[in-house]
Structure 1
Amino acid sequence: MNAHATFNHVDHPLLNTRVIDTRSLREGVLAAVLDEDGKRVAYIRGDDCREFDAPIESVRAAQ
């Protein structure tokens, strides 16, 4: 079994791209998208190198 299947990772076109969470206006690089209990959650690595999560529906490519 590969790591993607184990941790419920989901492919997304913005992975490894600079994004913004439109709810909090925080920016960073989209590190992962996981399927957690039927909901897709984005994990974003901020400029301070700490990750935060956001609903994938709130994530857009940064300008």
Structure 2
Amino acid sequence: MSVESRIGASLAALRGSAGMTQQALAARAGTPVATVVGVEQGSIEPPASLVARLAAAVAAQLREEGE
């Protein structure tokens, strides 16, 4: 499994755990939905800055759910 595929699978699982849609994640991370889809499918190689924004968006959602 490629690095891109592992990142995408992890992102999709975390997003699902947070109860977020791809659209909600994209909006929260400030990126197009197509980018989220591409990352989750492993079809694009995301720069570290994008991975960090997506992870932060999911983490923020999980924190809000825990409050």
Please confirm whether the aligned pair reaches a TM-score higher than 0.5, indicating the same fold.
no
Q: TM-score, normalised by structure 2?
A: 0.29
Q: TM-score, normalised by structure 1?
A: 0.30
Which structure shows the higher helix fraction?
Answer: 2
Which structure shows the higher strand fraction?
Answer: 1
Higher relative contact order (CA 8 A, sep 6+): 2
